[in-house]
A and B are shown apart, each in its own frame.
Chain A
Amino acid sequence: MNRTSTQEQIRIGVYVCKCGLNIAATVDCEAVAAYAEGLDGVVVSRSSAYLCSEPGQQLIKNDIAEKGVNRVVIGSCTPRLHEPTFRKCLADAGLNPYLLDMANLREQCSWVHADDPSAATAKARDLIRAGVARARLLQQRSETTVPVKNKALVIGGGVAGIQAALDLADSGCKVVLVEKQPSIGGIMARLDKTFPTLDCSI
């Protein structure tokens, strides 16, 4: 069930992750969270030691349940790492997982501006502000499913390709194993004995 509708008032929760000291050693996370409180549409803003942890995610879930948060902005590591984690967190709390924006405060801020904490903190504020601006306009999306063929292509018939093909085939999957040479075996087939056990490699 989704809690939001287009008519509903925007209620944004901002969560600034310290990532232990990965972010907090450079960025003043408390100050960034305090700054975000004043942004248009923000109803709650917090910082936490590890947002991806169970207690961290629980903070977000509680705010969704208790404070009616219906857009979430997370300042943390790259979305390429934990976007699926937090989308799932939103979904668990009954919020559409697409009502999430992530500001990259670690890979693209604290880690690359470690020698300039005040500039990094200013950048973190900007990134959160941009995240909040986008979050105001986020819309619900529903994921679609596509069928998946239970057949795999393995390119290369050396020891790795052979092992992968056998594991897949033993699991009931159809496999096409493509090898450029006239025989499979690859480099491994040329070796008499292999370390550390000094036994035959074929």
Chain B
Amino acid sequence: MSDAGRHPNIELLTLSEVKEVTGYVGNFHVRVLKRSRYVRASECTSCGDCVAVCPVVVPDEFNMGLSSRRAIYSPFPQAIPSAYVVDIESCLGHNPIICGKCREKCEKNCIDFNLSDEILEFDVGTIIVATGMEVYDPTELDEYSYTKFPNVLTSMELERLINAGGPTEGRVERLTDHRVPDSVAFIQCVGSRSFKTGHRYCSNICCMNTIKSTIMLKEHYPEMEVKVFYIDIRAFGKGFEDLFQRSKQLGVRFIRGLPGSVKEDSASGDLILTVENTATNLLEKHRCGMLVLATGVHAPEDMHVLQEMMALQKTADGFYLEAHPKLQPVDSATRGIFFCGCAEGPKDVKESVTQASAAAARAMRLMTPGELTVDSITAEINPEACTACGICARVCPYNAIQFDKRSGQPAKVTTAACAGCGTCSAECPAGAIEMHHFTDAQLTAQIDAILSEDVMNRIVVFACNWCSYAGADFAGVSRLQYPPNARLIRTMCSGRVREDFVWHAFAKGAPVVLVSGCHIGDCHYIDANHWTEKRLQRMWKKMETLGLRKERLQLEWVSAAEATRWRDVMEDMEQLRKTVTPKEVAETQKALAGQHKKTGKRSAKKKDTQAPAQPA
């Protein structure tokens, strides 16, 4: 930890939050808000004189509120940087200065209430997301009476009690009478593996953490009676089983079954647990002096902030989703961004460290060569067909299209800035923009091929590469089964799906069409899917005007993690398909042909001859 604080290649920004990430792999631009410490860290010697005079006393969050601290404080003895910090929320006032005693006392004059928050901006090639997890708060699960009885603790509170640097200097004592309990019981899976409260998943670390704590208790207090109530013990890792056996050899009792109720003997402060021992099928009562809830972990509440900023994805558990569960376990779907530690899922120290080294290696792999190749999936404007309307420049999420209305000159794509979503190409009313590798002609040919046989049984699906197509893949990996009539056409972004493609599919006799993409806010091309949504709304209106049932064109947002949702969408589409009759399809084709005739003159002028039906 201290190595990180003094490494010449590491710039440490504490009290800081990433506020904005723009750009792309190799060239991300980052904006960070660095909150003021109100203490000049380089000058502070951590003498502690300031603390002695601070009149404000607040609970110490580092010790889970089991002790108190002042408004100016050091979070813990080994903190990096080791400088003190003013908790400005609790401080009596810095502007104007109400108290200021710490400042008067500081001989180094390093406390400065004029210091202010800063915005820092810099460029990086890669980003590693290691935002960690939070510990489950058992307040909602009150059958264990965490909020009612003082001698019911969480595993994190026990951690602080048993820690030599903690509030009791390592003495495990009860909050009621400050005595070392003669017996301690643990309840496992608090907030984990539950369908009612907390989370469904296994938090991965609690079994071993409890086993560790039982051994430490037994080492500190050999006479102490220690019991563990569990569903099953998951001692799966290297050295774990040995530790479990050691705990049992030390006399710790493992009882299979989670207590149904916890009562307090008010005279002694002891706790009485009622539990069905599922190994013997007997109802048992157990008394203990202290009860520890082995709380699980969950994704931090603010995960969505970075998720939206960097177009990351989350699993149903709330943790970040890796690009591939086995082959790219630390990569995000966004190139150049990696995960490690509990941001990706609950894990222990060893696994976190392993992943961190893996993520660092993956990042180095991109950075070491100094340059990297990027797909040449970019847009190109045909200057002869361009009518200089400027729509493309307006819809481009990357400002990659140069256009000056006054000049009347055709728009031009800045290829280096183009990310290849294809929104410009889809929105161009003149069909003047070619999206390389996903051209109008190629996509239209795919539609034709799909609809050349057994057309009434076909569902035409456009799926964006990053979310919906990946979600469909995940449905496959999960072996979910759904009706076999859908035929997917992959585009990089749902923003690429030109109106013409949909009209063409309907003109070819498609009963139903689905356009699918990333959820709003999750788009891999900043906000290109906003244009998809607007376009679909336009199309539904046109369908109504033409007397077509607008339900036949569906828009669904499906993320890479939503395998079951993909299956459900496929089932819904199949139901919808069954409602379409050959007569309805024939009427649609007639309506579209009529529309085509009306606008034929205008369409004929177009360079894009791929799309026969073009309702205005």
Residues of A within 8 A of B (CB): 78-81, 98, 104, 106-109, 111-116, 119-120, 122-123, 126-127, 129-130, 132-134, 136-139, 141-198, 201-202
Contacts and interface: CB of A to CB of B under 8 A. Distances in A.
Interface string B121-155: 01111111111110100000000000000000000
B369 to A, nearest CB: 7
A168 B360 contact: yes
A109 B80 CA distance: 53
Contacts of B474: 107
A182 B71 CA distance: 13
A156 B75 contact: no
Interface string B351-380: 011011101110110111111111111000
A134 B444 CA distance: 9
A183 B81 contact: yes
Given A174-B9, A179-B14, A183-B81, 15 more contacts: A80-B469, A104-B473, A112-B567, A139-B436, A148-B369, A157-B14, A160-B352, A160-B356, A163-B340, A166-B7, A177-B4, A178-B16, A184-B4, A190-B156, A190-B160
B interface bracket (residues with beta carbon within 8 Å of A): 35 or more
Contacts of B364: 167-168, 171, 173
Contact of B4 (A138, A157, A173): A157
A161 B341 CA distance: 8
13 contacts: A78-B476, A134-B443, A146-B372, A147-B26, A148-B369, A149-B367, A155-B127, A161-B341, A164-B340, A174-B11, A182-B37, A192-B163, A196-B208
Given A120-B484, A134-B445, A155-B18, A141 B376 contact: yes
A79 B129 CA distance: 26
A190 B448 CA distance: 62
B500 to A, nearest CB: 16
Contacts, number: 367
Contacts of A156: 129-132, 341, 343
A107 B472 contact: yes
B13 A178 contact: yes
Contacts of B505: none
Given A119-B484, A156-B341, A196-B238, A167 B356 contact: yes
A111 B128 CA distance: 33
B261 interface: no
A164 B344 CA distance: 14
A86 B242 CA distance: 46
Interface stretch (B485-493, B544-552, B578-586): B485-493
B356 A161 contact: yes
A159 B135 CA distance: 16
B480 interface: yes
Contacts of A167: 356-357, 360-361, 364
Contacts of B128: 152-155, 161, 164-165, 168
Nearest to B24: A146
Interface stretch (B209-217, B221-229, B509-517, B521-529): B209-217
Given A111-B479, A152-B124, A158 B132 contact: yes
A146 B156 contact: no
Nearest to B87: A182
Contacts of A132: 449
Given A133-B446, A184-B14, A142 B123 contact: no
A76 to B, nearest CB: 12
Contacts of B301: none
Contacts of A130: 445-446, 449-450, 487, 489
Which of B17, B439, B446 has the most chain A CB atoms closer than 10 A to its own CB? B446
Given A146-B416, A179-B14, A185-B76, A112 B482 contact: yes
Contacts of A202: 1, 78
Given A126-B487, A143-B373, A156-B341, A161 B130 contact: yes
B482 A162 contact: no
A126 B13 contact: no
Contact of B476 (A112, A165, A179): A112
Contacts of B480: 112
B453 A126 contact: yes
Contacts of B16: 178-180
B239 interface: yes
B591 interface: no
B414 interface: no
Interface stretch (B27-35, B48-56, B194-202, B251-259): B27-35
B565 interface: no
B357 A163 contact: yes
A187 B133 contact: yes
B316 interface: no
Contact of B7 (A98, A115, A169, A191): A169
Nearest to B472: A108
Nearest to A179: B14
User: Which 8 A-B pairs give the minimum distances between C-beta atoms?
Assistant: A160-B341, A107-B476, A161-B130, A148-B26, A163-B356, A167-B360, A196-B239, A183-B79
A180 B374 CA distance: 33
Given A137-B445, A161-B128, A196-B239, A152 B465 contact: no
A13 to B, nearest CB: 17
Contacts of A112: 475-476, 479-482, 484, 567
Q: Please indicate which of the listed interface residues A153, A166, A169, A185 has the most CB atoms of chain B within 10 Å of its own CB.
A: A153
Contacts of A139: 436-437, 439
B125 A193 contact: no
A187 B132 contact: yes
Contacts of B10: 165-166, 169, 175-177
Contact of B78 (A116, A133, A166, A189): A189
B458 to A, nearest CB: 8
A24 to B, nearest CB: 15
Contacts of B11: 174-177
B237 interface: yes
Contact of A144 (B131, B361, B376, B489): B376
Contacts of B488: 104, 108
Contacts of B160: 190
B165 to A, nearest CB: 8
A128 B453 CA distance: 13
A74 B239 CA distance: 45
Interface in B432-464: 436-437, 439, 441-443, 445-446, 448-450, 452-454
Contacts of A147: 26-27, 370-371
B611 interface: no
Contacts of B437: 98, 138-139, 141
A98 to B, nearest CB: 6
B97 to A, nearest CB: 21
B5 interface: yes
Contacts of A111: 476-477, 479
B349 interface: yes
B345 to A, nearest CB: 12
B562 to A, nearest CB: 14
Contacts of B357: 163-164, 167
Contacts of B477: 107, 111
Q: Point out which of B62, B126, B373, B472 has the most chain A C-beta atoms below 10 A from its C-beta.
A: B126
A112 B372 CA distance: 36
B340 A160 contact: yes
